[in-house]
Amino acid sequence: MTTPLEKLLESARTHLYPNYRQPDLVMSHGEGVYVWDTSGKRYLDMYAGIAVNVLGHAHPAIVSALQEQAARLGHMSNYFYNEPNIELAERLCRLTGMQRVLFGNSGTEANEAMLKLARHHFYSAGQVERYRVIAFENSFHGRTLGALALTGQDKYREGFGPLPGVSHVPFGDLAAVERTMGPDVAAVIVETVQGEGGVVPASAGFLEGLRKLTEAQGALLLIDEIQTGVARTGRFLGIHHYPRVRPDALSMAKALAGGVPIGAMLCTEKLAGALPPGSHGSTFGGNPLASRVALSVLDVVEKRDLAGHSARVGAYLGERLAALTRYPAVTGARGQGLLQALELSETVDARTVVTDLREAGVLVTVAGGRALRFSPPLIITQEQVDEGVGIVAEVVGRLT
Ligand SMILES: Cc1ncc(COP(=O)(O)O)c(C=O)c1O
């Protein structure tokens, strides 16, 4: 007899486009930092839908924001203003120090908007030859063709070329940026912590140097805060760790509405005219439903000081992970706030470790090929970190 799970899996394998590698289970529901599959097995979620569910699962603030806004006004598109969206734009400007916000539905869209902003800014200024962008090796900026052109990892780019107009240089290498810089460069784009690239934080000197080099050349500095934003690294934005660096534009998505799709490109007033009406847009961007949920997420992030919590519990998680370097399978630990990584030795297959951890009841992801990435809900407690790291220690302790 076919079980309900087997029926679901068979249907998934038959109908879903097979571009992911899901395991043979189906997730059912979640609460706080835990999720359950349809067989009733419980998991401690230490990846939060890839740094998205900052308030964990089924948070009452998100549930009631969704219910109330859906019962009021769900969608109108951009022919009209709507209240939650105006309020969200104002809130984000206050929290980020930027002056203008353009909304979309995902990270890759936010980066597309930022790339179009940079190119159109110089086009409008009559500098039509100024379109090249400098990005970094091992960066990740998304998978639409514009964002993919920025992404500096061959495994994502292969087979989709040509992806012209972007020069990739080693992350952290200011001299290489200087050599690649020129009057045709419109912008430099950088993550403050390379997330998909393996959780590699930039140094203050590197980001400050990028600001100086772009300023000297009249190019824009664009910061991708899609993984680092919304208190993930212990400050509201990753760039807030470097107060001397003021970007021209930045992108946010992932955690902004705690699991409801949203993306945002934020910029300074100087760039407010770069994308005039008709030059860019999105049917769903700025819709009242996602905006209201984002406001409810930001309410909780601010009221509970989840940035401070992320800094404290993240430092604790970092210490606990660093202690695991006593095992032969672990070669290092690094991170910022609640974005942490455990580097595994070359002899170990990180994907297999993720599977072993899942079977043991902890969910994490692989980043940069050899690192386990921890990006749990920001509401995680020290005790829950102990619970997760205890299981990780058992699993990696068995490896040689
Ligand atoms: C730094 C960064 N930029 C962009 C993206 C793309 O975001 P999305 O998957 O929402 O398109 C991601 C996603 O992992 C990311 O980590």
Q: Where do the H-state alpha helices sit in the chain? A: 4-15, 48-51, 60-70, 83-96, 107-124, 145-150, 154-157, 174-180, 204-217, 288-303, 306-322, 350-360, 382-397
Is 138 a pocket residue for ligand 1 (Cβ < 6 Å)?
A: no
Q: Say whether 265 sits in a helix, a strand or coil.
A: strand
Catalytic, 254? Answer yes
Residue 398, both tokens: 């068995």
CA 297 from centre of chain: 16
Q: Give the amino acid at 359.
A: E
Is 223 a pocket residue for ligand 1 (Cβ < 6 Å)?
A: no
Catalytic, 299? Answer no
Nearest to 261 by CA among 66, 45, 64: 66
Nearest to 391 by CA among 372, 378, 371, 377: 372
Q: Which atom of ligand 1 is nearest to the CA of 142?
A: 6
From ligand 1's centre to the CA of 141, what distance in Å? 5
202 touches 192 (CB < 8 A): yes
From ligand 1's centre to the CA of 254, what distance in Å? 7
From ligand 1's centre to the CA of 282, what distance in Å? 18
Q: Which atom of ligand 1 is nearest to the CA of 106?
A: 10
Which one of the listed residues 136, 140, 236, 284 is annotated catalytic? Answer: 140
For ligand 1, atom 9: residue with the closest CA: 107
Q: How many helices (H) and strands (E) does the chain have?
A: 13, 17
* Amino acid 1: pLDDT: 83
| CA angle 105–195–364, rounded 5-degree value | 95
CA 83 from centre of chain: 26
Is 253 a pocket residue for ligand 1 (Cβ < 6 Å)?
A: yes
The span from the CA of 34 to the CA of 227, in Å, is: 21
| CA angle 55–60–65, rounded 5-degree value | 95
CB neighbour list of residue 10: distance below 8 Å, 6 or more residues apart: 2
Is 233 a pocket residue for ligand 1 (Cβ < 6 Å)?
A: no
Nearest to 296 by CA among 57, 71, 63: 63
**pLDDT tens across the length of the chain (400 residues):** 899 999 999 999 999 999 999 999 999 999 999 999 999 999 999 999 999 999 999 999 999 999 999 999 999 999 999 999 999 999 999 999 999 999 999 999 999 999 999 999 999 999 999 999 999 999 999 999 999 999 999 999 999 999 999 999 999 999 999 999 999 999 999 999 999 999 999 999 999 999 999 999 999 999 999 999 999 999 999 999 999 999 999 999 999 999 999 999 999 999 999 999 999 999 999 999 999 999 999 999 999 999 999 999 999 999 999 999 999 999 999 999 999 999 999 999 999 999 999 999 999 999 999 999 999 999 999 999 999 999 999 999 999 7
Q: Which atom of ligand 1 is nearest to the CA of 191?
A: 1
Which one of the listed residues 224, 236, 248, 284 is annotated catalytic? Answer: 224
Q: Which atom of ligand 1 is nearest to the CA of 144?
A: 11
Nearest to 249 by CA among 108, 91, 117: 117
69 touches 78 (CB < 8 A): no
Is 248 a pocket residue for ligand 1 (Cβ < 6 Å)?
A: no
The span from the CA of 115 to the CA of 61, in Å, is: 34
Nearest 10 degrees: CA dihedral of 350, 355, 356, 358? 120
Which one of the listed residues 171, 206, 248, 254 is annotated catalytic? Answer: 254
Q: Which atom of ligand 1 is nearest to the CA of 263?
A: 10
Residues 32-52: b if buried by 16+ CB within 10 A, e if exposed: bbbbebeeeeebbbbbbbbbb
For ligand 1, atom 7: residue with the closest CA: 107
Domains with residue ranges and CATH for the chain: 4-59+305-397 (3.90.1150.10), 73-303 (3.40.640.10)
